[in-house]
């Protein structure tokens, strides 16, 4: 099992000094990866399904991870998740290629279609187009990362006769991880991504999603170069050894544990305790 931490760059870890110290401690303790979230704006007042109060601080993912990359050496850096349908994919491809270069090839690009209508409205992006935009933007970005003469012609983006350099260090670009438990998200993961990410899931829910992914894979074409689909889960609560074994038995490859939001001391104590008990 790989172990990551979710929340670098947000909450108490939006403070750069805290983020630096937590990231350094996590790397020294043997965590495999550090993950950010993304919401450009949050509804005010808060209303479902918003994940946090409107005042909750969340740094921009690539900004936070570029900072963390500069103060670490080995730990992987994941976006959990970038809301790709809200972005211009040509700009996002440049942004994430730059992050992969600056981090020495440590980026894991988690993406999702998004689910907060108020956020889309504030950005001027049609909420009902988020799925179609996501499906189109992934191959558009990969074209910029991999093709000698990049070109793409879709409904929402088209380009040719351009180059976007530097390209990512990782061949083919950073591995893409699809977040979300809808049928569309699971199909998207099988068709387009190296991994899938389920957030705030207990063992039973994770097991159900893995079974659904296997069902989708049995009837959906998957490019061979993507390799086996890697399953990542953020548990609802911090797992103990028995729960880790249950997630592993369900087919999970990576657990991305939530960071507490009390204060820096609580965060450091939490990651030290977890590493002592579960990271060899």
Domains of the chain, CATH where assigned: 2-278 (3.20.20.30)
Output the DSSP codes for the chain.
Answer: -EEEEE-TTBGGGGSHHHHHHHHHHHHHHT--EEEE---S---SS--TT-SS-TT--B--HHHHHHHHHHT-SS-EEEEEEEEGGGS-HHHHHHHHHHHHHHTTS-EEEEEE----HHHHHHHT--GGGHHHHHHHHHHHHHHHHH-SS--EE-SS-EE-S----SPPSSTTSSPEEEE--SHHHHHHHHHH-SEEEEES--HHHHHHHHHHHHHHHHTS---GGG-SPEEEEE-SS---HHHHHHHHHTT--EEEEEPPSS-HHHHHHHHHHHHHHH--
Tokens of 13: 């870890």
Longest dimension (CA), the chain: 55
pLDDT in tens, the chain (280 residues): 999 999 999 999 999 999 999 999 999 999 999 999 999 999 999 999 999 999 999 999 999 999 999 999 999 999 999 999 999 999 999 999 999 999 999 999 999 999 999 999 999 999 999 999 999 999 999 999 999 999 999 999 999 999 999 999 999 999 999 999 999 999 999 999 999 999 999 999 999 999 999 999 999 999 999 999 999 999 999 999 999 999 999 999 999 999 999 999 999 999 999 999 999 7
């Amino acid at each position: 099992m790989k172990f990551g931490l979710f929340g670098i760059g947000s909450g108490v870890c939006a403070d750069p000094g805290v983020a630096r110290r937590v990231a350094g401690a996590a790397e020294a303790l043997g965590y495999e990866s550090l993950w950010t979230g993304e919401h450009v704006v949050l509804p005010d007042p808060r209303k479902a399904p918003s994940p946090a109060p409107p005042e909750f601080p969340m740094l921009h993912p690539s900004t936070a991870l570029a900072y963390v990359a500069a103060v670490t050496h080995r730990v992987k850096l994941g976006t959990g998740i970038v809301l790709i349908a809200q972005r211009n994919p040509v700009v996002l491809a440049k942004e994430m290629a730059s992050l992969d270069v600056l981090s020495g090839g440590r980026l894991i690009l988690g993406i999702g279609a998004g689910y907060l209508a108020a956020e889309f409205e504030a950005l001027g992006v049609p909420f009902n187009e988020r799925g179609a935009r996501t499906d189109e933007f992934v191959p558009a970005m990969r074209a910029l990362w991999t093709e000698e003469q990049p070109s793409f012609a879709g409904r929402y983006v088209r380009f040719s006769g351009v180059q976007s350099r530097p390209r990512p260090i990782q061949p083919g670009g950073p591995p893409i991880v699809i977040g979300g438990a809808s049928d569309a998200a699971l199909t998207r993961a099988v068709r387009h991504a190296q991994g899938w990410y389920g957030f705030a899931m207990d063992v039973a829910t994770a097991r159900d999603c893995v079974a659904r992914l296997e069902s989708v894979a049995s009837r959906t074409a998957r490019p061979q170069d993507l390799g086996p689909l890697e399953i990542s889960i953020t548990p609802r609560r911090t797992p103990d050894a028995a729960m880790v074994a249950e997630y592993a038995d369900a087919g999970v490859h990576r657990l991305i544990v939530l960071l507490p939001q009390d204060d820096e001391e609580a965060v450091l104590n939490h990651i030290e305790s977890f590493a002592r008990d579960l990271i060899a």
